[in-house]
Every structure is written in C-alpha cells, then in structure tokens.
Amino acid sequence: MKKVTEILLAVVIVVLCYVIFKQIQGPVQFEKEAANRKAVVVKKIKDIRTAQQEYKKAKGKFTNNWDELIAFILEDTIEYRSEIYDENNLENAAILEQLRKQDKNWKNEKIVRVAVKDTIFDIKDKMPYSLSDADIRKLPYIPFTNETKKFELDTATITTAGLQIPVVRCHAAYIDFLDTDTYNQEVWNLLSDEFNLFAAQSQNDEIAGMGLKQAIDEGQVSIRHFGVTFGSLETSTNEAGNWTGDSANE
C-alpha cells in the first residue's frame, strides 16, 4: 500500500510540474510567436502604405478599392526623377555651373515614366527589395489567415484649416492573425493591456475604469479595434503606424 501511495504521489508531482511548466512557458512562447507574426504583418502593411502613398501622388487621393490599388501597382507608371550630373563630382560641378549661368532655371534632373511595380518597392531597409506579381496580388490578405481575411482599408476626406485632406486607414486585428486557439488566454491578456492603454489615452470618460469585457458588453469598444494599423480617418497622421519606432517615411 505504501508503495502504491508513493507511486501516486510521484505521478501527482510530475503532473504538477508539467502544469507549472506549461503555465510559465505558455506566455513566453506566445510572446515570441506573437512578435514574429506581428513583424510579418507590419512588413506587409508597410508595403500597402507605400503603394497608397504613391497612388495618392499620382491620383491626388487614396483608394479603398483593392482592385484599383493592385491594378495601379501592376499596370500603371509614375514619374521618376534622377540626377543627370553628380553634384559631388568636381568635373560635373564645373559643367553644372556653366549650365546654370546659361539658364538660371536649369534643373539637374531627368524625368521619365517608369512602371510602378519596378519603382516603389525598389529600396527597403537599405537593400534591394521587390515584390513579385503574385506577392502584389496577395497584398490585401492578412498573413497567417490562409488568404481568408483582408486588411481593413478605408478612406475619407477631412477638413483641416479650411483644406480638404484625403486620409486613409489600414488595419489588421490581432484576433485575425494571432493563434487564438492555442493561446486564448494570452491573446485576451494582450487585448486587455491594449485596452487599458487605449482607455488611459482616451478622452471618453465613460470607459475610464472599465475593463475590456465591460467595455465590449456596453458597446464602448470592439475587440477588433486592437491590432496593427497605419493612418486614421479622424485626423491627418502622414500614414504613421502604431508599431514601435515607426516613421511614415521610412
């Protein structure tokens, strides 16, 4: 009987150790996987932003139509400006001086029309970078969703200082690209943390002191509000993203 008790105790100890290990490792594994997934989503949403910014330069507005944006990238051309003479070359500097004496409005540049897809993704992170036609056609789809979910893409026009300004917002909700099956509690904890930050920064007194569940139940916020986003429909942000260290011009 004593031996059976010892065996049962040993089994209980092993089970408890396993449970404790899982409780410790779960959040660690989630943070690592979530960071990796978020990085992939951010990389793709940056490409969408680049395409939208070039579309606006060419058309004077943003688009909320994926087919139009993809057709623009694959089929359209844009102006490309480049130097004719290297300003830092001494021999070229002498040539430029003479040209500018002859015509004070002379510009050291040539302008050509080039394919959008061969130009806008040319340089990223200080290295050659391009997207295949297949990659471009997949731009609307959020990574890790097996092409079943698209980025939310919306446009609007706001008035600032009497000026009509086009704005755009592109968004991928955390619940679309994170593994909610394996890490349900960890995802909920992340959303709660994001909500607490949102509530602290919000000017809405009604959500102050609320928890995420209460805010959702009372219709104050949607769980889909939290995720990876660039731009805004309420104010001009120069298409800034909400991820750490973002610059809309990078």
Contact 117, 51 (CB under 8 A): no
Question: What percentage of the chain's residues is helix, strand, coil (to nearest 5)?
Answer: 50, 20, 35
Instruction: Please give the Cα distance from 109 to 120 (Å, whole number).
Output: 19
Answer yes or no: pTM beyond 0.85: no
What pLDDT, on a 0 to 100 scale, did the predictor assign at position 207? 85
Q: Residues 217-240: what's their mean pLDDT?
A: 93
Cα distance between residue 21 and residue 13, in whole Å: 12
In this structure, the dihedral spanned by the alpha carbons of residues 228, 229, 230 and 235, taken in order and rounded to 10 degrees, is -150
Nearest to 186 by CA among 30, 24, 41: 30
Q: Tens of pLDDT along 13-61?
A: 555 544 554 555 568 899 999 999 999 999 999 999 999 999 999 999 9
